[in-house]
């Protein structure tokens, strides 16, 4: 594979459904490779669900050999039990990536939505629509978990090599936005 090509796996963790999406970044071009969902029966115990997520993600990783691994951070709502369960799924997913020696990056749901749609408050349907357009997909993913996983991979593709805030330091910000700097020669009058 050329050195300017990266294969990225994005993960939307869940104990009943874990979505994954695989994309390839070549320079500024991004293309869809694969996506799917790892599904667990609600009747399975938590340890069996976690084992299945781990085993299936290892299979996907070994098939595609991604260079980068991106995962959605836990969403903390009023339901602590749900957050805990997502944390378990995140843990085994991250373990699969780390044990395959893939660098792991984490992104908040708002950051992912904003990266893909321009709004951190976008709906899952809006994310799905943008994923299809950005990746040139003719058929929409069957599960929203899959769309979210692809969005996570795209978010990472847009962030590779860039610091989180967009700038390494204040000097980089000032150099990029000189119009926002008030110099001592441009004193404002107070009335």
| C-beta separation of 57 from 48 below 8 A | no
**Distance from C-alpha of 111 to C-alpha of 10, rounded to nearest angstrom:** 14
- Is the CB of residue 29 less than 8 Å from the CB of residue 5? no
Catalytic residues: 12, 72, 145
CA distance readout (Å), 39 to 66, 87, 128, 169: 21, 17, 19, 43
**Residue 93 CB coordination number (10 Å):** 26
Give counts: helices (H), strands (E), the chain. Answer: 6, 5
Query: Which pair of tokens denotes residue 50?
Result: 């976690």
User: How far apart, in whole angstroms, are the C-alpha atoms of residue 179 and residue 191?
Assistant: 24
What is the CA 112 to chain-centroid distance, rounded? 6
């Amino acid at each position: 594979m050329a050195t300017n090509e990266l294969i990225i796996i994005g993960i939307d963790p869940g104990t009943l459904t874990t979505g994954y999406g695989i994309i390839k970044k070549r320079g500024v071009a991004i293309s869809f490779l694969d996506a799917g969902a790892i599904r667990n029966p609600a009747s399975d115990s938590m340890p069996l669900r976690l084992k299945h997520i781990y085993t299936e993600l290892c299979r996907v990783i070994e098939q595609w050999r991604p260079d980068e691994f991106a995962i959605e951070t836990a969403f903390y709502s009023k339901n602590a039990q749900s957050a805990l369960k997502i944390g378990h799924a995140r843990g085994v997913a991250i373990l699969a990536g780390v044990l395959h020696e893939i660098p792991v990056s984490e992104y908040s749901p708002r950051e992912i939505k904003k990266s893909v749609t321009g709004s951190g408050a976008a709906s899952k349907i809006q994310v799905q629509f943008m994923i299809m357009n950005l990746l040139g997909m003719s058929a929409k993913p069957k599960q929203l978990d899959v769309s979210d996983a692809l969005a996570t991979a795209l978010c990472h593709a847009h962030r590779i090599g860039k610091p989180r805030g967009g700038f390494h330091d204040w000097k980089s910000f000032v150099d990029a936005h000189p119009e926002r700097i008030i110099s001592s020669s441009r004193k404002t009058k107070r009335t």
